[in-house]
Each structure stands twice: as C-alpha cells, then as structure tokens.
C-alpha cells in the first residue's frame, strides 16, 4: 500500500536537522538486526549528517548494525568534492565507528554509469536477499530525498526516461538536467519506494516556488515519488510559505 503524504513544517534548518535525526534514530530502533538507510546528496541533508557525528546522536546510533546506502550519486571518483557518498563520509561516516562493510557506495570508477548501475543493483539484491521487491518487506528502513529547483529528486530529472523505469532498481543517467553537469547513477522509483519511510528534506527560501508546485500536485519527478511505507515532507519555514511552522 502506498503511504499518504505527511507534511512536517519546522521553524528553521537547525530544527529540520534535529527532527530528521530523531526520525532516523526511530527508524533504526524499529529496523531490527540490520537497519538500512538510503542517504541523499545536495545541501539539505548536510545539517543532519553533521549532527550524526556529534553527541548525543553519535552515541545513540548502533553503528555496528546500520547499513548506509546512497539513493543517487554523481559519476565522479569517491574523493571528488561532488561525490554524494564522499560528502556523507566527510560529514559523518568517517568520523564515527561505522564498519567499512556497512557503507555501500556506488562504484563510480568503472567504465560507465550503466555499469555502475548494474553493480549497485546486484549489491542491493544481495543485501535484500531477493531479485524482486516485495511491498510487504521493504528494502530500506529510511530513504532520504532532496528536491531540486527543477523538481528533480535523486537523479530523476524532468522528462528523463529513468522516470518510467519499472524493472531496474538502479540506472545510469548520462546527462544531468541541472548543475553539476556530470553523469549520475540513481535508484529508480520502484527501488526508492521500497522503504518503511521516505523522508524529503527541503530547506531554504530558494526552494519555496518549486516546493509549492510539487505540493500542488504538478507532474514533477519529486511529486511522483511514492513509498510503500510513510511519505514525509520535512520542510522549514523559509521553504514552506503560507503556513506557521512549529
């Protein structure tokens, strides 16, 4: 069953980061022996990632059990400043006791984004333990998502064939619609949907127009994103015009 969208509006980006950290922890606690989180890139999750490396969160996360994936990445070497997993590593994963085997980056130094996509799909299937997604048994406990100014999410850009992908869990994207203009590798909607909770993080005034369009139901990639579990839009007051935030 596809979850109903919930909007949580908070005062500012600090509250957004703390609220996201609490939701992430709650999902980890409910996630059994091997909780799986799909991280995202962009600037919106940076505050959350920094918090996870600091107390009290650092001590509250059972690092030895949690597995960290990435919902999309730029096809650049892992130490490139543009790498999404590279950012997550710099901000928290390299600063805590996360076992290397629990961190699942995309292989971005292989021949092509398509090869990277096939490899990541194989890795996801092996972690999940099946070749087909079962809606009653989500792959992830939490999938983090961002919102681009053109309405993209993950690396699913407006008008791209990747939006229609129903079979593959991961695809290569040769051309980005928005800077940085480097090829991407992205999970598809069916794979992203296989989660107990999908959590969009949207912060800042420059997101106000596009957020209003998405929430009004315009046919944009971010508005198409569905979840087999909860679907939560965590937004701050700067991004979410017209309603008072807590």
CB 151, CB 210: distance < 8 Å: yes
Q: Is 13 in the site for ligand 6PG (CB under 6 A)?
A: no
Q: Is 84 in the site for ligand 6PG (CB under 6 A)?
A: yes
Binding residues with ligand 6PG: total (CB under 6 A):
15
Which C-beta is closer to ligand 6PG: that of 53 or that of 182?
182
Query: What phi, psi does 26 have (nearest 5°)?
Result: -60, -40
Provide the 3-class DSSP secondary structure of residue 197.
Answer: strand
CB of 134 to ligand 6PG, least distance (A): 26
Q: Is 211 in the site for ligand 6PG (CB under 6 A)?
A: no
- How many Cβ atoms sit within 10 Å of the Cβ of residue 96? 14
* Rounded alpha-carbon distances, angstroms, from residue 220 to 76, 160, 162, 182, 234: 26, 11, 13, 21, 18
Q: Is 236 in the site for ligand 6PG (CB under 6 A)?
A: no
Q: Quick one: residue 145, left, alpha or beta (phi over 0 = left, psi -120 to 50 = alpha)?
A: beta
CB of 171 to ligand 6PG, least distance (A): 14
Q: Which stretch binds ligand 6PG (CB under 6 A): 20-28, 40-48, 85-93, 190-198?
A: 40-48
Provide the terminal-to-terminal Cα distance of the chain, rounded to the nearest Å: 30
What residues form DSSP beta bridges with 201? 234
Q: Is 188 in the site for ligand 6PG (CB under 6 A)?
A: no
As a whole number of angstroms, the distance between CA 104 and CA 89 comes to 11
Q: Which stretch binds ligand 6PG (CB under 6 A): 41-49, 129-137, 167-175, 190-198?
A: 41-49
CB of 146 to ligand 6PG, least distance (A): 2
Q: Is 221 in the site for ligand 6PG (CB under 6 A)?
A: no
As a whole number of angstroms, the distance between CA 8 and CA 54 comes to 24
Residues 132-151 within binding reach of ligand 6PG (CB under 6 A): 146-148
Q: Is 9 in the site for ligand 6PG (CB under 6 A)?
A: no
Residues 45-74 within binding reach of ligand 6PG (CB under 6 A): 72, 74
Q: Is 154 in the site for ligand 6PG (CB under 6 A)?
A: yes
Token reading at 242:
């017209």
Residue ranges binding ligand 6PG (CB under 6 A):
40-44, 72, 74, 84, 146-148, 152-155
């Amino acid at each position: 069953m596809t979850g109903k969208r919930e909007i949580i509006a908070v005062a500012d980006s600090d509250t957004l980061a703390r609220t996201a950290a609490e939701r992430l922890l709650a999902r980890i606690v409910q996630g059994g022996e091997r909780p799986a989180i799909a991280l995202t890139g962009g600037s919106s999750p940076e505050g959350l990632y920094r918090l996870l490396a600091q107390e009290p969160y650092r001590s509250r996360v059972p690092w030895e059990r949690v597995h960290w994936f990435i919902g999309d990445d730029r096809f650049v070497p892992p130490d490139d400043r543009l790498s999404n997993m590279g950012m997550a590593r710099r901000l928290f994963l390299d600063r805590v006791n996360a076992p290397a085997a629990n961190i699942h980056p995309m292989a971005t130094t292989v021949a092509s984004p398509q090869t990277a996509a096939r490899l990541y799909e194989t890795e996801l299937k092996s972690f999940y333990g099946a070749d087909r997604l079962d809606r009653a048994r989500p792959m992830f406990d939490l999938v983090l998502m961002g919102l681009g100014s053109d309405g993209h999410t993950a690396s699913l850009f407006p008008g791209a064939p990747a939006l229609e992908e129903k079979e593959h869990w991961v695809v290569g994207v040769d051309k980005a619609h928005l800077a940085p203009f480097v090829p991407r590798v992205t999970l598809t909607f069916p794979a992203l949907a296989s989660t107990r909770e999908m959590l969009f993080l949207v912060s800042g005034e420059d997101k106000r127009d596009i957020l209003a369009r998405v929430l009004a139901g315009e046919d944009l990639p971010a508005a198409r994103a569905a979840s087999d579990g909860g679907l939560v839009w965590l937004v701050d007051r700067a991004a979410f015009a017209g309603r008072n935030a807590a």
